[in-house]
Amino acid sequence: MIIKKNQSLLKLNSFKIDVYAKEYVEITCESELLELYRQHRKKKILFIGGGSNILFTKNFNGLVVHLNIKGKNYKKINDKYVMVSASSGENWNDLVNWCVNRDFGGIENLSLIPGNVGGAPVQNIGAYGRELKDVLVSCRVYNWENGSFCEYECSQCDFDYRNSIFKKNKNLLITKVNLKLTSKNHLIISSYSGINEELKKLGVKNASIKDISIAVSNIRSRKLPNLDKIGNAGSFFKNPIIEKNQLDFLVKNFENIPYYSVENNLFKIPAAWLIEKCGFKGKKFINFGVSKKQPLVLVNYGGANGKEILQLSKSIVSTVKKIFRINLETEVNII
């Protein structure tokens, strides 16, 4: 475990913001995490993983800890299920492909979501009818407050829409996740029209989990900017969930506004629709802006700084609030 001084974080955040950490260390095993706690727990510390859900607006005047523990395996539970265990530093999409190629079902709808395994429970990642909580059994967690390891069962994770106990408490560091996946008789979730249309294009009639994964990947590739080429953090905003009285106002005043029933008389409004209607889709400001493909995605075309992107996000939030009386919340962590 080597602590470096004045380390660039350019390659450690998907927004490709060129900022520096006063100190930086990479953690590749749990024993290093224990050593870090013993020697450096009193320092100002920021833990990062894949860097796909963070916007740096300035240099970090402290110790940045890159949790990069690798490893994955599986074991048979019974004739129908397997338990897949993956360490936090594994790339999420690589894990999806690894499972799909072994015919393990349950996370194929979550294909091509950026980031590492450790960030998946934090955000309770979800797409096309699936959320991580649907397959997660437990997480191995290091509590930075008391320096101990523990297991969090799924029921203890306080999962909600793009939320969890790990997002609320930054001292809970995930080092491994355990997923219960199907090994036969897979539940194929392709009720979304976009997936069914893509399967039709591919000439698929009886879809396998691999077909679903390919279809989802194709759709996401068309809708989202390429992370390798354009800096971004995926969806910058959550889809707002509103009450019935708010919905009644919107339906009355805005023709064809899309909405979806959630539960307990609550409704979800697509944030992308709101942002596009406010005129932000594809808007560019020299070297940053809003994606032409997906209004939820703010982009760094090269050389932008985090403060510029943050200011753009605030402008979007205030405009949506003014026009639709809806408070947009960010998914991305602002540093």
Q: 269 φ, ψ to 5°?
A: -110, 130
Given phi > 0 = left and psi -120 to 50 = alpha, else beta, which region is 37?
alpha
What token pair was written down for 91?
A: 């790339």
What token pair was written down for 147?
A: 């320096």
Are 237 and 162 in contact, with CB atoms under 8 Å apart? no
Catalytic status, residue 235: yes
b/e string for 115-142 if b means 16 or more Cβ within 10 A?
A: bbbbbbbbbbbbbbebbbbbbbbbbbbb
What token pair was written down for 85?
A: 């265990």
Catalytic status, residue 329: no
Distance, in Å, from the CA atom of 306 to the CA atom of 55, rounded to the nearest integer, reads 6
CB atoms near residue 228 (< 10 Å): 7
Strands of the sheet containing 4-8, edge to edge, are: 4-8, 20-27, 60-67, 45-48
Tell me the residue type at 126.
Answer: G
What token pair was written down for 241?
A: 């969930």
Q: Which residue among 130, 140, 162, 220 is the active-site one?
A: 162
Contacts of 121 (CB under 8 A, 6+ apart): 132, 136, 139, 157, 159, 164, 166, 174, 177
Residue listed under structure tokens 């833990």: 47
Catalytic status, residue 162: yes
Q: Which residue among 111, 164, 190, 235 is the active-site one?
A: 235
Are 73 and 67 in contact, with CB atoms under 8 Å apart? no
Which alpha helices (DSSP H) does 80-233 contain, by range?
A: 92-101, 119-123, 165-168, 193-201, 209-223
State the catalytic residues. 162, 235, 331
